[in-house]
Structure 1
């Protein structure tokens, strides 16, 4: 018996639309920031929108169970990965637009790789829950009668 399928689908839809909003915000932020930077631009800042866009695509693919995002831990770790990537792109873009160069963003890329690996590991090594006895009411059903 599957009790939480609709909750999972709802959370993936909700996350997908949140990613869509973050994608639009990233594009608008880049245009405004570059407008006030006297014509300077950065490819990292221009491509920063790809991180939430990838999250949106994967969340919508997760509705059809086509990704490793099968449990809450893998989704949260994947969300952290996308946040780290977007932050790294933002830091690198701001530094490039200011006319300087530094390797300050490299820890972001390493952390993103680690979080993505942990997300893959958490999603692919999901432990199977034991099946409930059909004759016994579930814990949720017992509490709802009270």
Structure 2
């Protein structure tokens, strides 16, 4: 059984990721406004993951990406969500003036999701 993901799905996903990018930019600006002058590179760069995802999703509509089947799309979406969560956690900790390694498992899981997404996307289906 083969489940196809259509161009309409990719266009909708691109718009959702772009909207999420705008939201994260606004969230970062508001969060830093109330953080007494402290900032975090992770918090400021949090919007990059959904922006890259929007571009990849848009390119998938033209068959220029590995996201061709539903499983690879879902794993890719999960990886982006984990990356944004990792940036948010690390950013909040850095703005509070502390350091921690609690965000490391997030990065490992995100890399795992991306790797499995790539493997399933490039796998030949019959």
TM-score (normalised: structure 1):
0.82
**Deviations 1:71-102 (CA, angstroms, capped at 9, x unpaired):** 11101000000000000000000000000000
Question: Take 2:47 and 2:40, find their aligned partners in 1: how far apart are those partners?
Answer: 13
1:89 matched to which residue of 2?
87
Show the 5 A alignment for 1:13-52. 13-52=11-50
Instruction: State whether structure 2 residue 68 is matched by structure 1 residue 70.
Output: yes
Question: Take 1:61 and 1:12, find their aligned partners in 2: how far apart are those partners?
Answer: 8
- Residue 63 of structure 1, CA deviation: 1.0
Name the Cα RMSD after superposition.
1.2
1:114 matched to which residue of 2?
112
Tell me the secondary structure at the aligned position of residue 94 of structure 2: helix
1:132 matched to which residue of 2?
none
- Considering only CA atoms, is the larger Rg found in Structure 1 or Structure 2? 1
How many pairs align?
124
Tell me the secondary structure at the aligned position of residue 90 of structure 2: helix
* Deviating 4+ runs (over 3 angstroms): none
TM-score (normalised: structure 2):
0.95
**Deviations 1:94-122 (CA, angstroms, capped at 9, x unpaired):** 00000000000000000001000110011
Which fold has the larger relative contact order, with Cα–Cα distance below 8 Å and residues 6 or more apart in sequence? 2
Question: Take 2:13 and 2:7, find their aligned partners in 1: how far apart are those partners?
Answer: 10
